Amino acid sequence: MDDHVKKVLVIGGGPAGMEAALKIGQAGFGAILVEREPELGGTLKKLVSSFPKWEDPADLISFKAHMLEDNGNVECLTSTTVLSAERSQKGFRVTLRHLKNRGSRELDVDAVILATGFDLMDVSVYGEYGYGIYPNVMSSLEFEERIRGWKEGAEPMPKGVAFFKCVGSRDRSKGFPYCSRICCMYTAKQAGLVKDLFPGTKVYVFYMDYRAAGKGYEEFVRDIIEQKHVRYVRGRPAKVLPENGRLLVRAEDTLMGIPVEVVVDTVVLASAIVPRADTQALTKMFGALTDEYGFIESLPYTPARSGERVFFAGGCGFAVETQGALQQGAAAAAEVIALINKS
Amino acid sequence: MDTEIFTPLRLDEIDSALQLELKEKLDIDIEACLECGKCSGGCSNGHIFDYTPRKIVQLVKIGDEETLAGMDALWICLSCQLCLDRCPSGIDIPRILDYLREKAVTQGVRASRPDVHLFMELMLEEVRDKGRVSEVPLMIRFKKKTGQYLKDAGLGFRMFLKGKLGFIPSRMQKPEDLKTILSERKSENKG
């Protein structure tokens, strides 16, 4: 009988990584959760409210963080990155580095779960939208910050806000033929938040279609349109122009086939979800499969497995909302436990 | 050289004035429209409409009252209710068209097609007179006025075969009651 406690390295402290580490710990195995930021939470930490239930993401993060703390089997290492990894006989020998005190540490793990999350594409490639030229044209993640500012009363009230969906997504010419899946929902959420804060503000959402495939999602979007009176305009915006210190948006109303325009103060670009550039180094280090875009790919019939003793969960696999990230984290933990429990 | 400056339609209001009017007066909320086009795909007369039901709803949304008042569809809609019956959001499009027609008539707008108003007037006369509409007498009156006796003969024959044409004028039991109601209504409208 091997008295060595089996250990799993979980890289990334967002919802997927937190959930994976937690389940491994609860099952009685050791988990080391590595997060490069000083705090756990990942992208979720930057968000104001959630769909479809308007819950505060901070509550979920602190709930999971407390569970992790109370579980004696999980070691959470924040401000830490993975420096190197080498495949050993039964797992990996990895070197971790603390980003602040520069100290490093070597350890052996039986398996690894990659949960490094996603990034947003660089939307400045769209010259027609003027990102980087007009300060009030911003990405959806930057807009979360803006909402926080409005909530705290730090920013002046906008008279109009326009959301552009599919900025990058479903755009072959920019190299992203895929749908980023979560933008329809978080855009509806953001539009709703603006109307909650400023009922008099005119809010427009430009869309080609809205994809609300999830429990309570369709009802959520309909509520934004019918109860909160956000105006959905069908058409992909063509151009943003300055007009008397405000922003003029040109598009086609494709339902009537006529050109339309709106004048707003803020334009929010629902940018395509892309893999993080530095996830690439980790997939090489651990021998994980990736797809043509750089998202982690699964092996046949094992949705959370990407290689020998290599698993993944959350946005590093593809764009996913919080609920899905938690589910994938739990699924990756289940696969890891099934593997390491055998011997 | 004649140069026309291109100006897109500016969507300044979230809800158009007409949209709010429909909500207030008819309790019809077109924000519930899913833009699916089921109303238009099955519309009885959609193939000859200039604007199909989905587009009519969209015209309300963008507040294009001029197009709505001048469109042909306003006068050739059969009020068959198929669009309402099939609409997943239950939007009462026939009622919207009724409302728009009333509005157009009040504003003196007339259909560009010939004889539309003549037919409507004759039909209303039938109602005032007998309390009911009988197809054949109405057709005879209409044909006499227009002189187009054979124009719809084929259609009439097919309708006859399907039992859709009543030859014997049907009357309600007390048409005078209806007359009272109508005259009261008229004086109400005047007052």
For chain A, say whether B14 makes contact (Cβ under 8 Å). Answer: yes
Looking at the domain assignment, is residue B41 inside a domain?
yes
Q: How far apart are CA B38 and CA A280, in angstroms?
A: 47
pLDDT, average across residues B79-84: 95
Digit-by-digit pLDDT tens for chain A (343 residues) are: 455 789 999 999 999 999 999 999 999 999 999 999 999 999 999 999 999 999 999 999 999 999 999 999 999 999 999 999 999 988 999 999 999 988 999 999 999 999 999 999 999 999 999 999 999 999 999 999 999 999 998 888 999 999 999 999 999 999 999 999 999 999 999 999 999 999 999 999 999 999 999 999 999 999 999 999 999 999 999 999 999 999 999 999 999 999 999 999 999 999 999 999 999 999 999 999 999 999 999 999 999 999 999 999 999 999 999 999 999 999 999 999 999 997 6
What's the one-letter identity of residue A134?
Y
Residue-wise pLDDT for B12-59, tens only, equals 889 999 999 999 999 999 999 999 999 999 999 999 999 999 999 999
In a shared domain, residues B84 and B146: no
Chain B nearest CA to A300, separation (Å)? 37
In a shared domain, residues B99 and B122: no
What local confidence, expressed as pLDDT, does residue A3 receive?
A: 56
In a shared domain, residues B28 and B70: yes
Looking at the domain assignment, is residue B149 inside a domain?
yes
- Record: contact A262-B11, CB cut-off 8 A: yes
Other Cβ atoms less than 10 A from the Cβ of A122: the count is 14
Which of the residues A247, A261, A263, A264 would you substitute to probe the B interface, choosing the one with the greatest number of B C-beta atoms within 10 Å? Answer: A261
In a shared domain, residues B177 and B123: yes
Please state which CATH number belongs to domain A121-273. Answer: 3.50.50.60
Q: Which positions in chain B touch A246 (Cβ < 8 Å)?
A: none
What local confidence, expressed as pLDDT, does residue B191 receive?
A: 52
In a shared domain, residues B141 and B69: no
Give how many domains chain B has, as a whole number.
2
Looking at the domain assignment, is residue B138 inside a domain?
yes
- Record: contact B10-A260, CB cut-off 8 A: yes
CA B61 to chain centre: 19
In a shared domain, residues B74 and B121: no
In a shared domain, residues B144 and B82: no
Helix (H, G, I), strand (E, B) or coil at A270: strand
Residue B62 belongs to a domain with what CATH number?
Answer: 1.10.1060.10
In a shared domain, residues B91 and B123: no
Quick one: which of A339, A277, A281, A274 has its CA closest to A310? A339
What local confidence, expressed as pLDDT, does residue B159 receive?
A: 85
In a shared domain, residues B102 and B122: no
Last residue of a domain, one of B71, B106, B141: B106
pTM of the model: 0.91
Residues of chain A with CATH 3.50.50.60: 7-117+276-340, 121-273
pLDDT, average across residues B111-116: 86
Looking at the domain assignment, is residue B7 inside a domain?
no
Nearest to A226 among B6, B14, B29 (CB): B29
Other Cβ atoms less than 10 A from the Cβ of B9: the count is 14
Looking at the domain assignment, is residue B5 inside a domain?
no
Q: Which positions in chain B touch A253 (Cβ < 8 Å)?
A: 9, 58, 62
H or E element at residue A240: strand A239-243
Nearest-Cα residue of chain B relative to residue A204: B14
- Record: contact A260-B59, CB cut-off 8 A: no
Chain B nearest CA to A185, separation (Å)? 17
Last residue of a domain, one of B86, B106, B126: B106
In a shared domain, residues B31 and B102: yes
Number of A/B CB contacts below 8 angstroms equals: 49
For chain A, say whether B116 makes contact (Cβ under 8 Å). Answer: no
DSSP characters for A91-150? Answer: EEEEEEEETTT--EEEEEESEEEE---EEE--GGG-GGGTBTTBTTEEEHHHHHHHHHHH
For chain B, say whether A241 makes contact (Cβ under 8 Å). Answer: no
Superfamily of domain A7-117+276-340: FAD/NAD(P)-binding domain (3.50.50.60)
DSSP characters for B74-110? Answer: HHH-----HHHHH-TT---HHHHHHHHHHHHHHTT--
Give the burial class of A233: count Cβ atoms within 10 A of its Cβ; 0-12 exposed, 13-18 middle, 19 or more buried: buried
In a shared domain, residues B146 and B96: no
Residue-wise pLDDT for A299-312, tens only, equals 999 999 999 999 99
A183, A212 contact by CB (below 8 A): no
Q: Which positions in chain B touch A226 (Cβ < 8 Å)?
A: 29, 31-32
**For chain A, what is the mean pLDDT?**
96
In a shared domain, residues B101 and B157: no
H or E element at residue A222: helix A217-226
Last residue of a domain, one of B106, B141, B166: B106
For chain A, say whether B53 makes contact (Cβ under 8 Å). Answer: no
The CB-side HSE value for A82 (13 A sphere, CA atoms) comes to 32
Q: By residue range, what is the domain housing residue B145? A: 116-190
